[in-house]
Amino acid sequence: HVFLLVGDTNMEALLLLAERLSHAGVEKDRLLLYLGGKSKDHIFFRYDFVRYGTLRVATEDGSEWFHGSVIDLWKQDMSKLKLRNYIFHCFNCGPEMKTKKLYEAQTIAEANDIQ
């Protein structure tokens, strides 16, 4: 499985990555795409992303799907799934605070034996 966590900035770069992963043979059900934004109006390219993988959406104001950050949604899913032997790659195109939160998410992945 491949997890992409995408905030509301620079989504285009990670959309391109999702497309390339798909063309490289990553099956749609094995590419989990987490999109996050301040509100539903900040969730861009959802219909493009969904062509390549399974979509999960988080909004900080709760206007769509999960109420909270994309990192919070991912943490919740990881605690439920109890995944083992997964390869986890992080890609980030956001500001420093998002990079810090992504680093924290990687720490959680390591604690759950996700490499």
Q: Say which residues have a Cβ less than 8 Å from residue 58's Cβ, sequence separation at least 6.
A: 34, 35, 36, 37, 65, 66, 67, 68, 69, 70, 72, 73
pLDDT of the residue at 30: 85
- The pLDDT tens digits for 82-91 are 665 566 666 6
- The pLDDT tens digits for 79-114 are 776 665 566 666 666 667 767 777 776 666 665 554
Amino acid found at 70: V
CA distance 35 to 44: 8
